[in-house]
Amino acid sequence: MPLLSAKAQTQPQQERSIFDDVRLEVVPETKGADPFPNELVLLRIRGVYRPLVNISHLVQPSLVNFGWTNLTRDTSFDAEFDGFPARGFERTLAVFPEKTGELEIGSFVHKLTVVDGSGYRLVEVRSPPIKLNVAEWRGPGGPKDPNRWWLPSSEVRVTDHWSADPNHVARGETIRRTVTIEADGVTAEQLPPPPVMRSSGVISFRGPIDRETRVTEAGPVARAVYRWDMRPTTAFPAIVEAIPVPWFDTRSRTLRETMIPAQRMAWAAVGPAAEQATPGQDKPSGLIVAGAGALAFVAGLAALLVGTGAGSGLPSPPPRALLALKLAAWRGDAAGVRAAITALARGDRAAGWTSDPGVRSGLADLDRHLFDAAAAPKPNLRRLAKAVHAARRKAAVAARPAPSGLAPLDGPIRLV
């Protein structure tokens, strides 16, 4: 693009003098391609002045249809004007066109106080207005696509950090996931909103968000930090799905994607001591203990008469799992109910009952009550316990082998 020059405004009667040896130009850096909306364009405002400047003040036009930000401080340097020594001036602006078409950038005005003999003189230097052509995106995924975030950048970086090992989450605890997105050539407001961290078998609560913009000579650098508090909700490992971050590469002029990586989450292994009641829990009364003992005796007698294990088609829960669930529901102990259900699902060899809609809905309400910062109300624990019991019975019946249509091999036994 040719240099754009301007002459100092002087009185009509004045002859040409050193005060005419001034020039102010505005050069947009588009790197040979018309920018798209919201793409960074660097404006170089350069002035060369032969008079000795004492005071200067640059007035910029109202940048209609542009967002903009200053990048660095004004710089001055030694230069030449038609072979004579002069003084140079430069300022860099980052502008972001907000729509397509031919957009105009008005005149910049540099007001100078220059030395004139033994006194001073005021000089105004204007740059001619310039036109900037902003291209219109053709095809899907552009600035107007409602299903895709528009992020024009020269480079995007994603880092993923967990406060603890997500493969071994301590029982009943949450861990924090922190995802940082950095992009060159954009401001923090142009970075996407926090993605939805939602996956089957995992519950998450969004934490605080930090955004900042750092200015450099090459343009702004944006940074956003997203946080989530996360924990598994089932006894089985779950996968937090990968999340794509779409962006437009301003160097290659192509659409690209950067991924927030997928991650496996699971509870840590628990020893026998972890199944014991915590010191803060209330001990059941003697009547409850006596009733629990009677219930255990009846369950053991039924197991001897009917049989358990793979041959009977009944699940094999860990000792006291069902009893612990019923006791916790009777006491209204939400944490105890959650721990009992987790232990019950971990002990069943074929825990198909965990996918029952009633069980999943009840567990979701229970987890929101236990772990949501908004303090959701306590669900009906006895109803949840009944739903678990019914779902386990249904799963046990479905798992039973089909009866054989053949007669016994040895035939009926006749007593003589």
Beta-bridge partner residues of 231: 203
Give the Cα separation of 96 and 247 in Å (integer): 16
- How many other CB atoms sit within 10 Å of the CB of residue 226? 22
pLDDT digits (tens, 9 = 90+) for 315-335: 454 456 778 888 888 888 888
pLDDT digits (tens, 9 = 90+) for 65-100: 999 998 878 888 888 787 788 889 999 999 999 999
Long-range contacts of 146-149 (CB under 8 A, 24+ apart): 148/246, 149/192, 149/245, 149/246
What local confidence, expressed as pLDDT, does residue 44 receive?
Answer: 93
Give the Cα separation of 401 and 398 in Å (integer): 8
Residues (pLDDT < 50) of the chain are 1-16, 272-293, 296-315, 317-318, 350, 409-410, 413-416
Q: Which two tokens stand for residue 111?
A: 């007001």
Residues 6+ apart with CB under 8 A from 10: 19, 20, 123
Query: What single letter denotes the amino acid at residue 35?
Result: P
Helices (H), 13-76: none
Closest CA to 145 of 136, 154, 153: 136
Q: Which two tokens stand for residue 347?
A: 């002990």
3-state secondary structure of 36: coil
Q: Which two tokens stand for residue 217?
A: 């000579």
What local confidence, expressed as pLDDT, does residue 279 receive?
Answer: 42
Closest CA to 9 of 107, 118, 99: 107
| DSSP at 50 | -
| DSSP at 242 | -
3-state secondary structure of 342: helix
What local confidence, expressed as pLDDT, does residue 34 receive?
Answer: 95
What local confidence, expressed as pLDDT, does residue 392 receive?
Answer: 83
Closest CA to 29 of 86, 125, 93: 93
| DSSP at 321 | H
Query: What single letter denotes the amino acid at residue 242?
Result: A
* CATH code reported for the domain at 18-134: 2.60.40
What local confidence, expressed as pLDDT, does residue 287 receive?
Answer: 47
Give the Cα separation of 269 and 386 in Å (integer): 27
Q: Which two tokens stand for residue 49?
A: 């002045």
Q: Which two tokens stand for residue 86?
A: 């002069």
Give the Cα separation of 186 and 215 in Å (integer): 10
Question: DSSP string covering 266-289, please?
Answer: -BPP--GGGGSPPTTSPPPPHHHH
What local confidence, expressed as pLDDT, does residue 210 receive?
Answer: 97
Are 323 and 289 spatial neighbours (Cβ–Cβ below 8 Å)? no
What distance, in Å, lies between the first and last C-alpha atoms of the chain?
Answer: 116
| DSSP at 410 | T
Q: Which two tokens stand for residue 80?
A: 């030449």
Are 392 and 355 spatial neighbours (Cβ–Cβ below 8 Å)? no
243-249: strand order across its sheet: 152-153, 243-249, 254-260
Q: What are the extents of the domains in the chain?
A: 18-134, 152-265, 280-399
What local confidence, expressed as pLDDT, does residue 14 receive?
Answer: 41
| DSSP at 118 | T
Question: DSSP string covering 363-378, please?
Answer: HHHHHHHHH-TT-PPP
